[in-house]
Amino acid sequence: MYLENGRDLFRGVLIIIFAAIAYWGDLATGLVLAGFIGVMILQSAFTNWCPADLFLRPLGLKGKLESKR
């Protein structure tokens, strides 16, 4: 698995968790957390860096361009 795929997996899991929090728990908290993930996705589109990289790189995931070297 590449780093980019790991980012998508991480984001998807977080969005599902936050949607569950909004549905079964506090609506405002779930929506704020989901909005925060949206901001992080926008930020990573421009900078090509995501906070999830701090967890995924130590697991051995590399970017598609890094692995072709």
Question: Quick check: is 68 in a domain?
Answer: no
Q: What is the pLDDT of residues 13-46, one digit of tens each?
A: 999 999 999 999 999 998 999 899 999 999 988 9
Question: Quick check: is 67 in a domain?
Answer: no
What's the mean per-residue pLDDT of the chain? 89
Domain count, the chain: 1
Question: Quick check: is 50 in a domain?
Answer: yes
Q: Which residues of 3-40 are buried (b: 16+ CB within 10 A; e: fewer)?
A: bbebbeebbeebeeebeebbeeeeeeebeebbeebeeb
pLDDT of 23 reads 92
Q: Which domain holds residue 31?
A: 3-62
CA 63 to chain centre: 15
Which stretches of the chain are DSSP H helices?
Answer: 3-24, 27-47, 53-56, 64-67
Give the global pTM: 0.80
Question: Quick check: is 9 in a domain?
Answer: yes
What single-letter amino acid sits at 15? I
The answer, yes or no, to whether residue 69 has pLDDT greater than 80, is no
